């Protein structure tokens, strides 16, 4: 990667206006290259790509939901090609065991001495970019094997805790839970994803491009853009984006508005919410909004940043009530109503 695309020394970042502009401009240049390389393979889905990259630079994980055949797995594999990170794919099936994910201790015999000992064989989770494909087709027991890795970036097997390589990024795909042969993800598992992104059907124009690319003798030439060291620097840079107290308070009040009985709750939505958004929802709003501002070349988070990422950051953290399910009220509809209800400034 050319030196001109390297981030400045972190010790100099934001010490003055000039260094802040230099850092943000450098990030923007690299981000644009990422978008360009991914677009060589992925048709459309610009917002989905941006949200996925936002999660990467916010040091979070992504859950992609959509019916089979929409390119969810292709998006993850393409990201693995443009990032020089170690990559693994775990195909979740009903017979998948936790040890198939984390690894296990095996008996190894020394040929010279005949001495036997246990040796740890790491599983596919010991990579930097992990694709958990069709995660909701495995049993909850196997799904839970990801919990510690996603939150603490460690794996404990046989009483020994091992640290994962950073950066560590899990991208999971799942089919809609209404489909046959799926197991709903536990709330604790869902809460550990920074974003849940819903992948829609392609438009007529996009589908025409997809068919042309895949049925003709056309090959994509995707080039690596980033390495792990750069990603870690970019994650630190994003944390230095400023959040004004009133903007942060807005994100907090948005989370509190989802708690039935809270002074900030929306009376019309109380009956549709069984369990409100956890504190991780507020963290996701702020960290994601910081990256969003950085992507746009700004040094401070705006209300618009909060609005833009709210559906992806919050939709999987709301547990709907029976009334919501019977009335056909989705989590996205609840979030939209909360955003309409909540004033920018506290009353």
> What is the arithmetic mean of pLDDT over 111-119?
76
Task: Please report, to the nearest 10 degrees, the dihedral formed by the alpha carbons of residues 177, 124, 35, 232 taken in order.
Answer: 120
> What is the arithmetic mean of pLDDT over 9-32?
68
Q: Please report the domains of the chain, with CATH numbers, ordered by start residue.
A: 1-240 (3.40.50.300), 241-347 (1.10.8.80)
> What is the arithmetic mean of pLDDT over 101-124?
80
* pLDDT per position as a tens digit, 181-195: 667 777 888 888 999
Q: Is the pLDDT of residue 215 over 90?
A: no
What is the rounded CA–CA span in Å between residue 249 and residue 100?
43
Say which residue the tokens 């999660």 belong to.
Answer: 55
Say which residue the tokens 């909850």 belong to.
Answer: 140
Say which residue the tokens 């950085």 belong to.
Answer: 294
Burial level of 271, CB count in 10 A (0-12/13-18/19+)? middle
Q: What per-residue confidence (pLDDT) applies to 3?
A: 43
Residue 153 CB neighbour total at 10 angstroms: 14
pLDDT-derived band at 35, boundaries 50, 70, 90: confident
What is the rounded CA–CA span in Å between residue 335 and residue 338?
5
* pLDDT per position as a tens digit, 53-84: 999 999 999 998 877 776 777 787 788 888 88
Q: What per-residue confidence (pLDDT) applies to 250?
A: 92
* pLDDT per position as a tens digit, 291-331: 999 888 888 899 999 999 999 999 999 888 888 888 888 88
Q: What is the CA radius of gyration of the chain?
A: 22
- DSSP state, 300? B
Q: What per-residue confidence (pLDDT) applies to 61?
A: 92
Q: Is the pLDDT of residue 139 over 70?
A: yes
Helical (H) or strand (E) element with 83: strand 83-84
Q: What per-residue confidence (pLDDT) applies to 15?
A: 56
pLDDT-derived band at 4, boundaries 50, 70, 90: very low
* pLDDT per position as a tens digit, 141-190: 888 888 888 888 888 887 888 888 889 999 888 877 655 566 777 788 88
* pLDDT per position as a tens digit, 250-291: 999 999 988 887 777 777 777 888 888 888 999 999 999 999
What is the rounded CA–CA span in Å between residue 238 and residue 244?
15
């Amino acid at each position: 990667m050319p030196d001109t695309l390297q981030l400045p020394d972190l010790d100099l970042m934001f010490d003055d206006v000039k260094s802040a502009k230099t850092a943000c401009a450098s990030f923007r240049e690299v981000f644009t290259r990422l978008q360009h390389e991914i677009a060589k393979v992925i048709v459309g889905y610009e917002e989905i790509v941006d949200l996925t990259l936002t999660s990467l630079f916010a040091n979070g994980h992504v859950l992609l939901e959509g019916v089979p055949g929409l390119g969810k797995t292709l998006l993850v594999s393409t990201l693995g090609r443009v990032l020089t990170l170690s990559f693994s794919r775990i195909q979740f099936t009903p017979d998948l065991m936790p040890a198939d994910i984390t690894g296990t201790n095996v008996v190894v015999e020394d040929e010279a001495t005949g001495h036997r000992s246990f040796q740890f064989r790491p599983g596919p989770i010991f990579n930097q970019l992990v694709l958990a494909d069709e995660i909701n087709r495995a049993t909850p027991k196997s799904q839970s094997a990801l919990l510690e890795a996603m939150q603490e970036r460690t794996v404990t097997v046989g009483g020994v805790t091992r640290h994962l390589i950073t950066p560590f990024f899990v991208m999971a795909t799942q089919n809609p839970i209404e489909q046959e042969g799926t197991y709903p993800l536990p709330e604790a598992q869902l809460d550990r994803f920074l974003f849940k992104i819903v992948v829609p059907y392609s438009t007529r124009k996009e589908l025409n491009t997809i068919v042309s690319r895949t049925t003709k003798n056309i090959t994509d030439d995707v080039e690596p853009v980033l390495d792990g060291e750069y990603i870690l620097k970019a994650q630190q840079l994003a944390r230095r984006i400023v959040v004004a107290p009133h903007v942060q308070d807005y994100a907090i009040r948005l989370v509190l508005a989802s708690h039935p009985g809270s002074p900030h709750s929306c009376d019309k939505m109380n009956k549709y919410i069984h369990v409100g958004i956890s504190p991780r929802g507020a963290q996701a709003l702020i960290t994601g909004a910081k990256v969003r501002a950085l992507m746009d070349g700004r040094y401070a988070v705006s209300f618009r940043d909060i609005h833009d990422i709210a559906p992806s950051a919050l939709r999987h953290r709301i547990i709907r009530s029976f009334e919501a399910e019977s009335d056909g009220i989705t989590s996205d509809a609840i979030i939209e109503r909360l955003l309409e209800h909540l004033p920018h400034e506290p009353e």
